[in-house]
Amino acid sequence: MARARSLWTGSLSFGLVNVPVSLVSAVRDQNLHFHQIHKKTHERLHVSYVCTKEKTPVDYSEIAHGFETGDEYVMLTDDELAAAQLEKTRTYLVAVRAKGDLLALTSMLFQQEVRPTDELDLPTRKRPGKAKVDRAVALVEALGADFDHDAYKDRYRRRLRKLVKDKEAGETIKAPPAPKAPGPPPDIMEALKASLDEVRAGAGSG
């Protein structure tokens, strides 16, 4: 596997202290990648940018950023965008914390980027009955466990890999029927009780 490369080097600065650091992504891409293929010829497709006026493909070097103001565009170059102060493309809000012996930097959303909940069209809230909440707490605790991240495997990736193999072997792959969402329980108390009984019976026999 390729060693992780740093995507930025600079300094961590607090007070008058500068700590030189490099930034390495903590996430690695594990997705299966597909190419876009022309159905008819089974040949690869490539993306090209076409000028709406000249109707001809445009070279990457001729692409500029235009900000629409009314019916006109203000054109900005990469250099000018970079000069809006910023390293590369933008400024991030980040949190730095210790993770073992290393420092971990996590990018965060600015408050303006988080949708306020009053923009959601929510039904009026009902205060839930105490007996029901007690029952739900009991169920949450009965299904309680420590968080074991490794225990959750990416089944989608595994199935996708198998799908490619099956198709290569000439098998026919059928699309599954469209899934349906189950409705809300007619009686929450009953549903909670039945679930709790089920979990407890399961825990007892296991």
Partner 1 sequence: MVKGFEVRSGEYVVLDDDELKAASAPKRKTVDIEHFVPREQIDPDVYDRPYYLAPQDGGEEAYAVLAAALRRTGRAGVGRVVLRSREQLVAVVEADQMLRLDTMRFADELVDPGTLDHPPLRRKPDARLRKMAAQLIDGLSGKFQPSRYRDTYRDRVLDLVKRKAKGEEIDTERAQAPAPSDDLMAALEASLKGSKR
Q: For residues 1 and 54, which CB has a smaller minimum distance to partner 1 in the complex?
A: 1
Residue 85 lies near partner 1 (rule: CB under 8 A) = yes
Chosen residue from 46, 71, 180, 204 binding partner 1 by CB under 8 A: 180
Chosen residue from 71, 168, 205, 206 binding partner 1 by CB under 8 A: 168
How many residues belong to the chain?
206
Distance from chain centroid for Cα 18: 32
What is the gyration radius of the CA atoms in the chain, in angstroms?
A: 27
Q: How many Cα atoms occupy the beta-carbon half-sphere of 49 within 13 Å? A: 8
Residue 110 lies near partner 1 (rule: CB under 8 A) = yes
Q: For residues 111 and 205, which CB has a smaller minimum distance to partner 1 in the complex?
A: 111
Residue 200 lies near partner 1 (rule: CB under 8 A) = no
Residue 112 lies near partner 1 (rule: CB under 8 A) = yes
Q: Give the separation between CA 100 and CA 102, rounded to whole angstroms.
A: 5
DSSP-assigned beta bridge partners for residue 58 = 49
Structure tokens at 19: 């700590």
What is the separation, in whole angstroms, between the first and last Cα of the chain?
Answer: 40
**Contacts (CB under 8 A) with partner 1, residues 24-83:** 24-30, 32-39, 42, 44-45, 67, 69, 74-77, 79-83
Residue 163 lies near partner 1 (rule: CB under 8 A) = yes
